[in-house]
Amino acid sequence: MAPKSFTVVSNDTRGPYATLTLRGEVIPSQPGQFYMLRGDWGLEPFLGRPLSILGDDPVRGEVRFAVKIVGEGSRRLHALRPGDRIYGLGPLGNHFPLSGWDPRSPVVLTGGGVGVPPLAFLARRFSENGVGVIFCQGARTSEDLLLVEELEEIGVSPHLATEDGSLGQKGLVTDLLARELEFQPGAVFACGPEGMLRAVARLCKGRARCFVSLEAQMGCGYGVCLSCVTQVLEEGREKNRRVCKEGPVFDAEVLPWL
């Protein structure tokens, strides 16, 4: 499995965040899948960086990602400019389940940080399929809220929570989710920091089916290096599963968090 060459079409930056659009040979993807991206920057850093897909247009040959600076690799991705070359391997991993949901029961998407982009992709697909979407997003401050305007463009008005109260409700995204669970949603889909996912899974236990997309350090992205192994419960026993291959999306019931 070899990475493909892409050209940067645009890279819209806002503080430590960026929305990156690439053009090349794009294989159709599903919400929750990701790419391993690596710039044309030599040996430092050597490994690619896993980024969830924000959206794609295989006909135009374009795929989009959201980037946040957290280290050298993401700093270099954030600094890309139109015309630069980049290498991408994807789409990789599994995806959120898209079918089988009752249009009469809205689903709740719950995200924080760079967990928001794959959920924005999911919101678009659900909206196209006639499934009602309630989107809950949390952040430390208003500056960390992502893709609010893009969500509104597809008809999804996100419920917002910030820890400092600078925009939306003051508090955590789980405060918003707890309120929505009172209305018995069709399912809950979540992506974000592990602490948030643990809290979401516990809130949903016995109340709503919950799917979470895990974040993990990855070396290869397709299951060979085993650097992203997590434990799941199957048939009453803990087993190792690769986040990049069997995930990143898991039914919260199989994760030993509850």
Parent domain of 79 = 4-92
Taking only the tens place, the pLDDT of each residue in 153-189 is 999 999 999 999 999 999 999 999 999 999 999 999 9
CATH number of the domain to which 43 belongs: 2.40.30.10
Instruction: Find out whether the peptide bond into 103 is cis, omega within 30 degrees of 0.
Output: no
Count CA atoms within 13 Å of residue 181 on its CB side.
Answer: 20
- Cβ-count burial of 167 within 10 angstroms (0-12 exposed, 13-18 middle, 19+ buried)? middle
> Is 99 within a domain?
no
> Is 100 within a domain?
no
- In the numeric block, the tokens 């999804």 are attached to 156
Q: Which of 68, 229, 203 shows the shortest CA–CA distance to 140?
A: 68
Between 194-204 and 173-181, two packed helices, what is the crossing angle to 10 degrees? 20
Q: Are residues 121 and 196 in the same domain?
A: yes
pLDDT average, residue stretch 98-102: 91
Q: Are residues 232 and 123 in the same domain?
A: yes
Q: Which of 92, 117, 136 corresponds to the end of one domain?
A: 92
Phi and psi angles of residue 111, each rounded to the nearest 5 degrees, phi first: -140, 160
Q: Are residues 31 and 75 in the same domain?
A: yes
Q: Which of 69, 92, 115 corresponds to the end of one domain?
A: 92
Q: Are residues 157 and 124 in the same domain?
A: yes
163, 140 Cβ separation under 8 angstroms: yes
Phi and psi angles of residue 14, each rounded to the nearest 5 degrees, phi first: -145, 100
Q: Which two tokens stand for residue 48?
A: 């690619």
pLDDT average, residue stretch 117-133: 96
Count of other CB atoms within 10 angstroms of residue 68: 17
Instruction: State the chain's mean pLDDT as an integer.
Output: 94
Q: Are residues 230 and 118 in the same domain?
A: yes
* Residue 258's pLDDT band (cuts 50, 70, 90): low
Position 15: which residue type?
G
Phi-psi region of 101 (alpha: psi -120 to 50; beta: other; left: phi over 0): beta
What is the pTM assigned to this prediction?
0.95
Q: Which of 58, 92, 126 corresponds to the end of one domain?
A: 92
Q: Are residues 134 and 226 in the same domain?
A: yes
Helices (H), 57-208: 72-78, 116-128, 148-153, 173-181, 194-204
pLDDT average, residue stretch 5-18: 96
Phi-psi region of 43 (alpha: psi -120 to 50; beta: other; left: phi over 0): alpha
Position 73: which residue type?
G
Q: Are residues 117 and 152 in the same domain?
A: yes
Taking only the tens place, the pLDDT of each residue in 181-221 is 999 999 999 999 999 999 999 999 999 999 999 988 888 88
CATH number of the domain to which 186 belongs: 3.40.50.80
Which residues on neighbouring strands pair with residue 210, listed in sequence order?
188
Give the pLDDT score at 217.
Answer: 86
Q: What is the DSSP letter of 19?
A: E
Give the pLDDT score at 48.
Answer: 84
Q: Are residues 85 and 111 in the same domain?
A: no
